[in-house]
Amino acid sequence: MKETEENWSLVIGPKRSLWSLDLAELWQYRDLLQMFVRRDVVTVYKQTVLGPIWFFVQPIMTMLVYVVIFGNIAGLPTDDIPQPLFYLSGIIIWNYFSDCFMQTSDTFSLNQDMFGKVYFPRLIMPLSKVVAGLIKFGIQFMLFLAVYAYFFIKGVDLAPNVALALVPVYILLMAALGLGFGLIFTSLTTKYRDLKFLVQFGVQLLMYASPIIYPMSMIDQPLLKKVIYYNPLAQVIEGFKYAFLGRGELSWTGFAYAAVFAFVVLFLGVFIFNKTERSFMDTV
């Protein structure tokens, strides 16, 4: 009996290296990525009363709470910037990082049934969260621009500058930090489930260690200022605010530090994710 040679259109095999990142394979599954992004953006609010309006309601309500509590009751300064504009500028970019981090940190635990039955590049799932978060950020960014235009027309002393060219880079850094930290924590939570509580608590603490509700100029304690300086998120948020509002400072050293930190975190995240991917079905 003559043996017939079978020609397979796709051969699935184990990764040869923990450092491997098959971008060509990710591109082949771009339709799946698009489907996951659509699911995250559309179906989340599909059966709600307000629908996509929630994308605007969330930052507006958060801004109003900050105005009342931190602006009026606590009396924190805003560098002569109108409180709604000052808080909103920090909220929208912080929300992007927070959403990327929180959504990707549950990748393995939330999708274990799908991962155990169907093959596709596992990195597609956390990437879809980052892309969906970028769409949400774009919608909230339009809200920020509308508020910004309102105060600019009213004659508020705003000083947009050439640092606006770095805004896309700041957004990419937030995406890299959120994805990198998310990949690390989702890999660790396959064995240590209680880390989920640490993630939620840690994100709240990290927010207060970032210049969202206060300007960097009000920090006069050298030790505290140094601690916040080494928070890469603080460098990104401060640079984002400086680009539009012209307050604070643009530190090139801090920018370089944030960029290197984001690259290292993303690099480690992919490495740990690839390592966990090989055996996570035995532990989840």
Q: Calculate the average pLDDT of the chain.
A: 84
Cα(66)–Cα(276) distance, integer angstroms = 40
- Over residues 246-254, the mean pLDDT reads 87
pLDDT, greater one: 280 or 75: 75
Cα(277)–Cα(186) distance, integer angstroms = 10
Q: For 6-44, write each residue's pLDDT tens digit.
A: 566 655 555 555 555 666 777 788 888 888 888 887 776
Q: For 99-138, write each residue's pLDDT tens digit.
A: 999 989 887 777 777 776 777 778 888 999 999 999 999 9
Tell me how crowded residue 247 is: count the other CB atoms within 10 A of its CB.
Answer: 20
Label residue 1 by pLDDT band (50, 70, 90).
very low
Cα(124)–Cα(152) distance, integer angstroms = 41
Q: For 67-95, write each residue's pLDDT tens digit.
A: 999 999 999 999 889 999 999 999 999 99
Give the per-residue pLDDT at 20.
58
Asked if pLDDT for residue 164 goes beyond 90, the answer is yes
Tell me how crowded residue 127 is: count the other CB atoms within 10 A of its CB.
Answer: 20
Spatial contact of 125 and 111, defined as CB atoms under 8 Å apart: yes
Please name the helix (run of DSSP H) or strand (run of DSSP E) that holds residue 4, with its range, or none.
Answer: none
Q: Supply the pTM of this predicted model.
A: 0.87
Label residue 3 by pLDDT band (50, 70, 90).
very low
- Over residues 54-71, the mean pLDDT reads 91
Label residue 253 by pLDDT band (50, 70, 90).
very high
Give the per-residue pLDDT at 22.
64
Spatial contact of 243 and 74, defined as CB atoms under 8 Å apart: no
The ranges assigned to domains in the chain are 52-282
Cα(72)–Cα(66) distance, integer angstroms = 9
First CA to last CA across the chain, in angstroms?
Answer: 46
Asked if pLDDT for residue 52 goes beyond 90, the answer is no
Angle, to 10 degrees, between the axis of helix 83-104 and the axis of helix 195-208? 160
Q: Hey, which of 118-127, 154-163, 195-204 has the most confident mean pLDDT?
A: 154-163
